[in-house]
Amino acid sequence: MVYYLISEFSITGMSCAACSSAVERAAGRVDGVEAAHVNLAAERLRVRSEVDVSDAVINAVKKAGFGALPSQGFKKQSMLDEERRAKELRGKKKRLIVAIAFAIPLFYISMGTMVGLPSPVAPDNPMLFAAVQLLLLIPIVVAGWGFYVRGIGALFRLHPNMDSLISVGTIASLAYSIYSMWRISVGNAHAAHELYFESIGVIITLVMLGKYLEARAKGKTGEALKSLIELAPDNAVIQDKNGVEREVKVEELMPGDLVIVRPGSSIPADGTIVRGATSIDESMLTGESLPVDKSVGDHVTGGSVNLGGAIVFRTVNVGEDTTLSAMIRLVEEAQGTKLPIARLADRISGIFVPVVGAIAVIAALIWLVAGETVEHVLRIFVSVLVIACPCALGLATPTAIMVGTGRGAKLGILIKDGEALETACRLNVLAIDKTGTLTEGRPSVTDVISFEMSSSEMLTLFATGEKMSEHPLGKAIVEYAEKAGLMPDNPDEFEALIGRGARAKAEGKLLLMGNADLMKESGVELGSEVRAHMERLAQQGKTPMLLAADGDLCGIVAVADKIKDEAPDAVERLKDQRIDVVLITGDNANTAEAIGRQAGIEDLRSNVRPEEKAGIISQLQSEGKLVGMAGDGINDAVALAQADVGFSLNTGTDVAIAGASIILMRSDLRGISDAVSLSRRTMRTIKQNLFWAFAYNCIGIPIAAGVLYAFGGPLLNPMMAALAMSFSSVTVLLNALRLKSVKI
């Protein structure tokens, strides 16, 4: 088996999808790199490799014309990215103000006289008229110099981008305008009407405005992740062995430290309360708005807020091992994934700029051959170059994923990868495990039926056999016996029999504890009376557990696990979403029917062994269905991995959580329907963004090429083309940001 390293880098200098493609190609060509993916919205590069290739990747990206720095860990890197983006935004704002300050008088001088406005520079002095415009243009070009550095550099590296289109278009206009000034100097006063200084200035200014608005909007797409990161406090108050309090950095906490958390303070790590009682606000972690009461022995999670009294807790997980750190890591990974739906956009983006350049040249040549003036041809050429917007294509998917997964995190829905986000919206079947998922996972004893011995003797023997069991049903029997004042001992031997029960040796006897299948395969006879008892109990929704000692049946203990209060509503919501619900349980048909009736589930799969769950999922998939699986136990791990989308409750085992692709931070099944709704909203937004990006370019480029003009329609002004281009990117971003406030 090959193990891969995942390396992340912060990338600077990207302006569009063509830039991100260039970075991916540069990183992908490095020896040892198995895959490279750029998230344009987050400005991150993720590389999968067999060995550490960080230095080689950084050098390759720099040679491609972009900046690259290794990620410094999510919290530090987030702070660095925030500082960098804030600095860049301030710089963009200053340069935009300069551009606007000179673009307004430039436009006024050039166009004012056409509408009868007085001009400080009389057009009857054409050379002065041209010279003043050129002087006003220079500060605008200097303010937008980054376009030319990036654009021309990318052009020479044979990886043209959006900046290349703008650079070529404006340079062509500038060259023609300077040529017109030369014509004025040799006596051709009419050439003053063929100056494009104001177009160049306004184009640069509008593009800068679009980039500024885009940068502001992009910053907002990561606000949810930033909010998660900010949940962790910087400092913590610990109590040493002598009872002395001192303040330390959160990074300095060690497992086993005693931490004091006063009212209003954030909890700095995961741990267990050893002193005090309080109410904890876990809303940012679970989406649950109501505070949770906590006391000695209860678990607290780093990032939650202490609302009540002061508490002291002992740390269990610190630093990168906390639940909050895991959440942040999962959200970052999900935001960095590339969906299958984005691959078409990526392929188009890779060839977009060269194709647009070719269209601009061909359109210009056609109009030139058709006998149009150089002025007309230049307008066509520049308009095509400027109106094209690869940014919208590049931003369509990642911005929606970033906002959607961030919104999910605030709702207590952790989406581990982008494919799960895409697939969840198309699910038509959901298989649900019973114990701990559909039910509360806290079974309790309801009936004790003994044969040949007293109830207390039988119960003591049963509890002794189950004393070392980790199964919820076994634990329930032990707990019931202890509460009844019985004192079960540890068995001499114990063996769990997954899906059937357990085998133990105690008091010199071989004990069998489990279901009818275990008794049958062990040769223990079940009479009609026993079977009648079991059927009656099962019809009541209870799970009958049998005890046999040395081959003789001793009694029955019935255990019931109450279904969760929200389960019927959760099932109804799923049905409203046209998702069929299937209950999978190891219980017999009667028990399954009783539980299904309470939850509103008609499709029941009973007597299912753990290893058979994945087979049921596979069978449903073979029928052409997209299947989700919800579970929380070790025995659900294979089925969760087999399902198209696996849902695990945060209360589940580590194995189950690892096998799932969506984790519900609340033990609430309604989170599944919320996740499906979020997936559908996000995918709808992505499709809207992609449609707009494709439609905009498919409509805008032909108009800029003069298709409407050829049939008597208007000719697009390059300044309007620049405005449309900027509007396209901002529209995609604003549409993605709507997911922040969408009601699920």
Tell me which residues are annotated as active site: 433
Structure token pair of residue 717: 């002004």
Residues 6+ apart with CB under 8 A from 151: 160, 161, 162, 163, 164, 165, 166, 167, 168
DSSP 592-622: HHHHHHHHT--EEE-S--HHHHHHHHHHHHH
Burial per residue of 602-637, b for 16 or more beta-carbon CB atoms within 10 angstroms, e otherwise: eebbbbbebebbbebbeebeeeeebbbbbbbbbbbb
Structure token pair of residue 53: 């290739």
**Amino acid of residue 334:** A
Helices (H), 497-541: 516-521, 528-539
Smallest CA-to-CA distance from 224 within 300, 334, 97, 123 is with 334
Nearest 5 degrees, angle CA 585-CA 589-CA 590?
Answer: 115
Q: By the 8 A CB rule, do 92 and 209 touch?
A: no
Helices (H), 245-322: 283-286
CA-CA distance, 484 to 460, in Å (whole number)? 10
**Strand pairing class (662-664; 413-415):** antiparallel
Structure token pair of residue 592: 């399954």
> Phi and psi at residue 469, in whole multiples of 5°?
-75, 145
* Beta bridge partner(s), residue 275: 312
Structure token pair of residue 26: 């540069």
CA-CA distance, 230 to 286, in Å (whole number)? 16
Helices (H), 186-296: 197-221, 223-231, 283-286
Smallest CA-to-CA distance from 253 within 302, 294, 306 is with 302
Q: By the 8 A CB rule, do 106 and 198 touch?
A: yes
